[in-house]
Amino acid sequence: MLTNIPKGTKDLMQDESYKWQFLENKFAEFCALYGFKEIRTPIFEHTELFQRGIGDTTDVVQKEMYTFEDHGHRSITLKPEGTAGAVRAFLEHKIYAETQPTKLFYKTPCFRYEKPQSGRLRQFHQFGVEVFGASNMIADAEVISLAYKFIKYLGIEDLELHINSIGCPECRAKYRLALQEFLRPKFDELCPTCQSRFDRNPMRILDCKSEICQDLVKGAPVMIDYLCDDCKEAFEDLQADLKALDIDFTIDTGIVRGLDYYTKTAFEFVTNSIGAQGTVCGGGRYDNLVEELGGPSVPGVGWGMGIERLLMVMEANGIEIPKPSTSDVFVATMGENAKHYGLKLVSQLRDNGIKADLDTLQRNFKGQFKYSDRIGAKYTVVIGDNELETKLFQVKDMDNSTQYEVKEEELIQHLVEKVNA
Ligand code: ATP
Ligand code: MG
């Protein structure tokens, strides 16, 4: 029990973490290219923020939140997604009073009590971006472009962009009636969850994972046929923007956000290569969310990308992330004086940007060479009493096993040149 990890969570061990560091750095670089700045908000918030920000009728709020009472009797929830916290911070720091738009990015753990399976964890991680203060579809095209370019840069070819419009509260009201009309005769066949969605949030029925429900919604009216003029024009603008960017997309009327504060654009990047949980990135526009959370009327658009699923697609595509070398130079020492000399030498090498290491287990020379090989050092320097006396050091090139002498005063410069060659 003590050494068992909780269900639905994963350790990121030392031989894998370079992949995450690579993705995190690249993501930050892409965000910088697009003018986004990073924010870091707490991993827990007041429960009410998510109830309002995600919506009472969603699965996330109804069934999946990690909620607890703290010692001060406040209801606290571990963040199940990134947008609500970003909006809270945007309001709390009155960022809306500054020059707009506000372009933010983050990486964050997320917590959802779901049934663990491939691509579905209880603690997972997201990259996310949000743009506040821009109502024009150019902003939607920009955030989609950021995700698209990042995915392409990573070498992933089989992620498809699906887009939809979910309208605004006005046109959606008409659509809801039409959808209810269509589903009413099938009501008894819907799964219990969808039956409970029927009155409160029928659009989420389109998103149900149950096969029976997916069958029942076939042929249902689609939101884009009900868009008001403004929403229709916006959807056309978005498509024109994406075409201008040469970004291929498919219109997928099944993508819903299904809450009143989400508006217009909804999109996903999906793949068939990682099984049932094929949505790697999902996002959309939320023109009424900031207001719903107690702020002024400020539009927003953004997305969240699951890092674990991103890595799964990369693996499925055979894309390897370059593994950094762990060690450039290993200093093998024998004897007390040599040990001190070696300690100083590795320190000087590190000052020169060389990854250097030495023996800390008092192994003999043979053991130290073996260890040097094991950690992938490119060069091994040998220091014993003899070398200290002659001021000539043995350097072994670990790739081709050749060994040669270098003078003490040239040693550091020599190794710097060799390693950086
Ligand atoms: P799904 O349809 O897969 O349940 P979702 O609509 O709940 O996804 P979002 O809330 O849009 O997902 O979150 C954005 C992204 O976060 C998803 O596209 C996915 O990559 C990732 N994600 C969501 N839930 C999980 C989870 N339980 N485990 C791993 N990744 C997840
Ligand atoms: Mg989900």
Among protein residues, the one whose CA lies closest to atom 7 of ligand 1: 60
Closest ligand (CA of 257): 1
- Token representation of residue 391: 């001021």
User: Minimum-distance ligand to the CA of 66?
Assistant: 1
Instruction: Looking at the CA of 8, name the nearest ligand.
Output: 1
Q: Is 107 helix (H, G, I), strand (E, B) or coil?
A: strand
> Within a domain: residue 215?
no
CB 202 within 8 A of CB 181: no
Q: What is the pLDDT of residue 187?
A: 95
* Interior angle at CA 25, CA 88 and CA 28, nearest 5: 40
Q: How many folded domains does the chain comprise?
A: 2
Question: Which of the listed residues 316, 337, 372 is the one where a domain comes to its end?
Answer: 316
Residue nearest to atom 21 of ligand 1 (CA): 306
Of ligand 1's atoms, which has the minimum distance to the CA of residue 304? 14
- What per-residue confidence (pLDDT) applies to 386? 93
Nearest to 300 by CA among 134, 161, 138: 134
Q: Is residue 61 part of a domain?
A: yes
From atom 26 of ligand 1, which residue's Cα is the shortest distance away? 120
Shared domain check, 336 and 263: no
Is 322 among the domain residues? no
CA 122 vs CA 81, 206, 306, 371: distances in Å: 12, 24, 12, 38
Q: Are residues 270 and 350 in the same domain?
A: no
Q: Are residues 310 and 334 in the same domain?
A: no
Q: Where are the alpha helices (DSSP H) in 117-225?
A: 137-153, 169-183, 192-200, 211-216
Residue 184 belongs to some domain of the structure: no
Tell me the ligand closest to 304's alpha carbon. Answer: 1
For residue 274, give Cα distances in angstroms to 159, 266, 312: 11, 22, 7
If asked whether residues 25 and 140 sit together in one domain, one would say yes
pLDDT at 111: 98
The tokens describing 244, both together, are 């201008």
Place of tokens 């699951």: 306
Which ligand 1 atom sits closest to the C-alpha of 283?
Answer: 11
Q: What is the pLDDT of residue 207?
A: 87
Nearest ligand by distance to the CA of 306 = 1
What's the CA gap between 36 and 102, in Å, rounded? 8
Residue type, 372: S
> Which helix or strand (DSSP H or E) is residue 160 part of?
strand 160-165
**Tokens 């949980």 appear where?**
277
How would DSSP label each residue in 251-276?
A: E-TT----STT-EEEEEEEE-STT-S
Q: How close is the Cα of 108 to the center of ligand 1, in Å? A: 13
Ligand 2 centroid, distance to 276 Cα (angstroms) = 12
Task: Using the mean position of ligand 1's atoms as its centre, give its distance from the Cα of residue 252 in Å.
Answer: 18
| Residue 355, in any domain of the structure | yes
Splitting the chain (421 residues) into consecutive groups of 10 residues, what average pLDDT does each group show? 93 97 98 98 98 91 96 98 98 98 98 96 98 98 98 96 96 95 96 92 90 94 97 98 98 87 96 92 97 97 98 96 93 96 97 97 96 96 95 96 96 96 90
Domain that holds residue 254: 17-168+228-316
Shared domain check, 115 and 92: yes
- Asked whether residue 29 falls in the same domain as residue 76, the answer is yes
pTM above 0.85, yes or no: yes
**Pocket lining for ligand 1, CB < 6 angstroms:** 81, 112, 114, 119-121, 124, 126, 277, 279-282, 304, 306, 308-309
CB 214 within 8 A of CB 117: no
Length of the chain: 421
Residue 98 class from Cβ within 10 Å (0-12 exposed, 13-18 middle, 19+ buried)? exposed
Q: Where are the alpha helices (DSSP H) in 253-351?
A: 289-292, 307-316, 336-351
**Domain ends where: 316, 337, 365?**
316
Which of the listed residues 281, 316, 351 is the one where a domain comes to its end? 316
Do 308 and 340 belong to one domain?
no
In a domain, 389, yes or no: yes
pLDDT score of 58: 87
Place of tokens 């997320």: 110
CATH of the domain at 359: 3.40.50.800
Pair 31, 140 in one domain? yes
Whether residues 305 and 266 share a domain: the answer is: yes
Amino acid 51: pLDDT:
96
Residue 246 in any domain: the answer is yes
Same domain for 344 and 280, yes or no, is no
- Report which DSSP code applies to 293: T
For residue 57, what is the domain's CATH number?
3.30.930.10
Instruction: Kindly give the number of the ligand 1 atom that is closest to the alpha carbon of 309.
Output: 20
Angle separating helix axes 408-420 and 336-351, nearest 10 degrees: 50
Residue 364 lies in a domain: yes
Instruction: Write out the H or E segment, with its range, that includes residue 368.
Output: helix 365-374
DSSP 184: G
The position carrying tokens 């607890």 is 68
Ligand 1 atom closest to the CA of 279, numbered from 1: 18
Which pLDDT belongs to residue 326?
87
| Ligand 1 pocket test, candidate residues 27, 309, 312, most atoms within 8 A of CB | 309
304 and 380 share one domain: no
In this structure, which residue's CA is closest to atom 19 in ligand 1? Answer: 306
- Give yes or no: residues 337 and 311 share one domain: no
* Residue 276 pLDDT: 87
Ligand 1 probe mutation, 277, 303, 313, most atoms within 8 A of CB: 277
The best mutation among 112, 123, 124 to test binding of ligand 1, ranked by most ligand atoms within 8 Å of the C-beta, falls on 124
User: CA 88 to CA 83: how far, in whole Å?
Assistant: 9
